[in-house]
Amino acid sequence: MHLHITTDGEWLLRVCVTVLSFGLAAPQMVWAKGDDVNALRKQLDGQQELILRQGELLRKQQRANELQLQQIQQLKTRVDRLETESGRPLSAAPPPVSSDSAPATAANVSKDSDKIGVSTIEEVRDSVGDLNTAAVKKGDFSGSFKIPGPGTISLRIGGFIKTVAYYDADAEAEGAAFLPAFLGVRRNDKSGNFSINASMSRFLLDARSPVRNGSVRGYLELDLNGNNDDSPDLNVRHAYGLWESPWGTLTAGQTWSTFMDLQILPEGLTEPTVSGAIFQRQPLLRWTQPLVTHMKMHVAIEAPNSDDVFNDQGSFSHSDVPDVVLAGELTDPDVGHIRIGGLYRRVKVDTDDGGNSNSQANAWGVSTGLHLNTVEKDRVILSGSYGEGLGRYLLGIVPTAGGFVNPADGDLKLRKNYGGFVAYQRYWSEKFRSSFALGHARAKTFSGQPGSAFSNSTGGYGNVMWSVLPYLTFGIEYAYGRREDKDDSDKDNHRIMIGTQIF
């Protein structure tokens, strides 16, 4: 218990003690001799001095208490700031990934910005008139609450609202996510288009609980950009479970592919759709094994899909073995990050030509990416990928550019796919930041393919993000994309985007 007496309280105490002392001494003063009076005066002076010293100690204690309150408030502000940074930036950001993959910009909604206009009250619901206040408690991780019952599950309900207005100079139906490889696919793109889109908004549920050997987690995230056509179509981005143990981490469900490096993606206003990046979400089973300090490896089997080959004869694409991914990464917070991954997949196609012929091929790929810290929070990013039949894994090529069925003999041929990108992320101040990225992706063509077959794409962008408040960010971005076909015909587009994200 702390005794806190104000200046008025101290004065009142001093008066009471003096009056009390005088009242006790008064009867004696009537008959006391001179020496006794002097002794009594000294005693009263001593008591007065003691009270003054106690008052001074009380004032010092009061100042110490005020200083401690200021320090506590500063720590709360700092904790709020750190909680804000651990959330996702405006770019699709933390992505909602398991603990075995670090988020890309880590994020980021407001780098070190002051928490303005945001309550620091830690109640999870209004306690006024609530008869079961104790049933709902603060959870074990940021933004969560504990589910009532005998268990120890912490649940977080979250998401954000993102609205983007964009103008395409030479494209008509591109959607919120700008993909240069799709220029001219939906329409002939003879004129421009303006649109306002909120389909990038998200909703998530995140549940975690400690168990005897580590912890378990269930994560579900949805957005409204299922078809990337400006219409609100419900889309499951992530649905996975995770068990983190002293021996390693098991991830099961749909999330980012193990072949993908989340730590090297630059920030984009919608999503970082730069040509040449590995970018894929799909169902998988993954084991992550820590090795030495800052180093770990991942091994996974992932959902196979042979629909990323072209066949104009009609076919049934499938696979009888899963895609297999092996990756290793080294991360030093003071220096940067490097990751190398390898992919094996079997592509299988049954052609519908009357003979029920079967074609299959073994596809493979390698990818490496790194980022290096430069000045303060700035970083430079490099990435490159190469393989045969990378198909859907490589951003910047059309989905059917992994291979094709030769109409002359019905044989399946895999196409060499390769790409890469370079990016730089710049933090101008606590509230302003930018990302600049440029990439290229290519699929080698064969003589049996028509002139309209996809050949390559180039895409890049630059942006400025302004985090006005911890939960409010504005952004403006310029993007350019160009697609080239086998016959050297090409289409390009300039895009200007202005957007905002709340939460």
Listed residue (374, 110, 160) closest to 267, CA to CA: 110
Residues 71 and 138 in one domain: no
Considering the domain boundaries, does residue 116 fall inside one? no
Same domain membership, residue 181 and residue 47: no
- Asked whether residue 112 is assigned to any structural domain, the reply reads no
> 423 is in which domain, residue-wise?
134-502
Are 144 and 80 found together in one domain? no
- Say how many domains are in the chain: 2
Is 211 contained in some domain? yes
113 belongs to a structural domain: no
pLDDT at position 64 is: 77
pTM assigned to the model = 0.74
Residue where a domain stops, chosen among 22, 52, 85: 85
Residue 497 resides in a domain: yes
Q: Which residue has the tokens 């012929």?
A: 357
CATH of the domain at 277: 2.40.160.10
Query: What is the tens place of the pLDDT at every residue in 347-400?
Result: 988 766 555 456 889 999 999 999 999 999 999 999 999 999 999 999 999 988
Q: Which 8-state DSSP code applies to residue 471?
A: T
Question: pLDDT at position 269, please?
Answer: 95
Q: Is 291 helix (H, G, I), strand (E, B) or coil?
A: coil
Cα(100)–Cα(255) distance, integer angstroms: 12
The model's confidence at residue 136, banded by pLDDT at 50, 70 and 90, is low
Residues 145 and 60 in one domain: no
Q: Assess whether 246 and 340 both reside in one domain.
A: yes
pLDDT at 100: 46
Q: Closest by alpha carbon to 290, among 258, 257, 318, 331? A: 331
Residues 333, 379: Cα–Cα separation, whole Å: 12
Instruction: With a cut of 70, say whether residue 444 has pLDDT above it.
Output: yes
Does residue 489 lie in a domain region? Answer: yes
